A = this chain, B = another copy of it.
Amino acid sequence: MPRRSAPRSRRTNISDVATAAGVSRATVSRVVNGLGTVDPELVARVRAVMEELEYTPSGTARSLSLGVTHTVAMIVPDLGNPMFQKLLQGLTNAAARDGYRIIVADSQESLEEEAPLARELRRRSDAIVLAAPRLDGPELVELLRQVPPALVINRSSQDGLVPAVTIDYAAGISALADHLRELGHTRIGYLQGPEHSASSVYRQERLVEYVADRSEMELVLFECGSSMSDGYDSWPTVRDSGVTAVLAFNDVVALGLLGRLSEEGVAVPEGISVVGFDDIQFSRFSAPPLTTVAVDHVEMGETAWRQLQAEMGGAAAPHAETHFTPRLQARRSSGPAPITPGR
């Protein structure tokens, strides 16, 4: 792309500075990067010219030359979800402390887009983070093989193929289930998350096991989703099922249901108990405050950065998987089971 005619307004580059200062480009480069030993007088001259010409080095050219972009990509299934926003926040700020920037993309829950998106982003970055990928099994493994260094959040490390940051869903679900059982609930419901959400599947599986181990307990599954309105809309079905407690896929859904119960005049927890998962910011302040299990997603994002850094440094496989264990936050949305069940 040789430039024939003068462009509208070309950015001043290293050559402009070199010429104006009467030195070579190498010297300008040295001054900019504070390298080598440059004559103080030249340094001053170059600095002055840089100032005057408002010179700032091209990040693109530096990246090409150095082979490093100081950029990391992150793909999330839904940027609108507070949980992913927190992960992004943790990752972004942790990476920033080491001089790295984050380039984000929203796969919008699309299975097909995930792989091409990851490949594209990986070409402009030094590493990639896949948060709760919807891709699974061999396809996920294949993708991860193509884009190292990579890290997955919310998924196992795929047999040590890549580092991973995960949540111990089993522990979280057990804590919530124990809590409900101790309150006397025997017939409980689970509001399922989105179709391709691995975390919803994990949570449900653990719950099924839990109930299977205890003959006095029953579990009712409800198709739901991940939004507040999904929780809101679930009420009629939940009511007709006669469960005395509901475990929602996540806090957002649980809060949606609480809103509906308030509108319907159903007392919580006297009429029904509701518990969530995540302990998002708003759960502590809802009316009544929501019982849930707490996961620090910001810290997860920070941990992801640390592990990714090790990976970029060239850590050998198999790679570590950091588990986060959720802590029960018993609040007022859960209480003793009614003597007379709703049915």
Chain A residues with CB under 8 Å of chain B are 1, 8, 54, 56-61, 63-67, 69, 71, 79-80, 82, 85-86, 88-89, 92-93, 96, 101-106, 108, 119-121, 123-124, 146, 228, 232, 255-256, 258-259, 262, 281-282, 284-289, 298, 314
- Would you give the shortest CB distance from A25 to chain B, in whole angstroms? 14
Residues in B with CB closer than 8 Å to A82 are 82, 85
In the complex, A121 Cα to B96 Cα: how many Å?
12
B232 touches A259 (CB 8 A): no
- Would you give the shortest CB distance from A74 to chain B, in whole angstroms? 9
- Would you give the shortest CB distance from A138 to chain B, in whole angstroms? 17
- Can you pick out 9 interface pairs between chain A and chain B where the beta carbons lie within 8 Å of each other? A79-B92, A80-B85, A82-B85, A92-B104, A93-B106, A102-B105, A232-B285, A282-B282, A286-B287
Q: Which 7 A-B pairs have CB atoms at the shortest separation, nearest pair first?
A: A259-B285, A287-B287, A59-B124, A59-B123, A79-B89, A85-B85, A103-B103
Interface of A is mostly: helix
* Of the residues B8, B104, B108, contact of A102 by C-beta under 8 Å: B104
A106 touches B121 (CB 8 A): no
B64 touches A93 (CB 8 A): no
A282 touches B258 (CB 8 A): no
B80 touches A86 (CB 8 A): yes
A256 touches B228 (CB 8 A): no
A71 touches B103 (CB 8 A): yes
A124 touches B60 (CB 8 A): yes
A56 touches B92 (CB 8 A): no
Residues in B with CB closer than 8 Å to A256 are 285
A64 touches B66 (CB 8 A): no
Residues in B with CB closer than 8 Å to A1 are 65-67
Contacts A103-B103, A256-B285, A282-B282; A89 near B80 (Cβ below 8 A): yes
Residues in B with CB closer than 8 Å to A80 are 85-86, 89, 298
* Of the residues B54, B57, B121, B286, contact of A101 by C-beta under 8 Å: B121
Residues in B with CB closer than 8 Å to A71 are 103, 124
In the complex, A58 Cα to B82 Cα: how many Å?
33
